[in-house]
Amino acid sequence: MIGKHPLGLPVPSESHAYSTVYDPFTYLPQWSFQRRQQAAAWVIRHYGLKPLLTGITPQDIWRSLPGFYDLYKQGKNTIGLHRLANREDFTRLLHQAKSREGSDLSKAEDLIAALFQHFFEANQGTAEHIMLEKTPMHIRYVDKILSRFPEAKVIEVVRDGRDVDVSYKARAKTQRWAHDDSRRVIGQWQRCVNLGARFHGDPQFAERIYRVRYEQLRANPTQELCQAFDFLGLEYTSNLMSQIVAANDISQVASKGEGLHVRKGSVGEWRSSLSQEQIDLWRELAGETLEKLGYGW
């Protein structure tokens, strides 16, 4: 919806820039031999046999990035680094970042910044435009993002975790990544909510992160979108707001349904879709978090 503003410059889909480029340097070199054995097929596929036996080095990670770029781009996959740059430009920016002075983590951040800048310039971004990137799991890197880009702001969208669970189960009909049981969904949802709370409570970042409740956005889309635009400093008219809200109503989505990216957008469907055992598990493991957010039973 924000991307429909005349000054919005949205990346077409999730780039997964931080999880692909930055994150591997934070944990893979520390993997024990036993941990590498547990993921042997994955390690060999992406890094080779030697890293499986002797350890994954930063050099191995740098060498693997073009392969991950290609992997995401295969077939009909809409997410990945290819949303930011073509293969030739990605390779060029990768070599430039890798050749700079500094730690591997700082070089990884340099590469991400270069990819964002490349996308912005390639799409005729000006000083008035706002580039939008919407990878959900970038909530894990809010501090990195806001520290690296002083002008950046973050909008966090929070939804009742039980409805998130319902969506996962529906998406699993067509996507392997969604094959998580309720316990795993609960764990990830709580971690993300807790991360958001941590950043909201950090004086360094609190004024640059804004929370949108999915349920409120569905109930009062115009009001919620106005508040988001105010947070971003984007000017708007009532006519523009009406156009954006109408164009983004779920009823206008042509391709939607079970197993697709857009399904129903329902609120409270967990009551009829989750089993009593699953509901009890949510109460046991995340009841306190749900109640803190104002989600009842």
Q: Tell me the pLDDT tens digit for each residue of 239-283.
A: 999 999 999 888 777 776 666 667 677 899 999 999 999 999 999
pLDDT at 174 over 70: no
- Nearest CA-CA partner of 297 in 265, 273, 268: 268
pLDDT band at 232 (very low <50, low <70, confident <90, very high): very high
Burial of 288 (0-12, 13-18, 19+ CB in 10 A): exposed
Which of the residue ranges 14-28, 240-254, 279-293 would you say has the lowest mean pLDDT?
A: 240-254
pLDDT at position 178 over 80 = no
Structure tokens of 145?
């993002």
User: Which two tokens mark 67?
Assistant: 């392969």
Which runs of E-coded beta strand occur in 108-225? Answer: 130-132, 154-158, 209-213
pLDDT at res. 75: 67
Return the biggest CA–CA distance within the chain. Answer: 62
Q: How far is Cα 297 from Cα 295, in angstroms, rounded to an integer?
A: 7
What tokens does 156 get?
């966090």
The pLDDT confidence band at residue 55, using thresholds 50, 70 and 90, is very high
pLDDT score for 260:
61
Pairing mode, strands 8-10 and 130-132: parallel
Please provide the average confidence, as pLDDT, over all residues in the chain.
93
For residue 140, give the DSSP letter.
Answer: G
Q: Which domains does the chain have, with CATH numbers?
A: 1-133 (no CATH), 153-297 (3.40.50.300)
DSSP3 helix / strand / coil % (the chain, rounded to 5): 65, 5, 30
Express each pLDDT in 194-231 by its tens digit.
Answer: 999 999 999 999 999 999 999 999 999 999 999 999 99
The answer to whether residue 42 scores a pLDDT higher than 70 is: yes
Residue 228 contacts residue 155 (beta carbons within 8 Å): yes
pLDDT per position as a tens digit, 56-79: 999 999 999 999 999 988 866 689
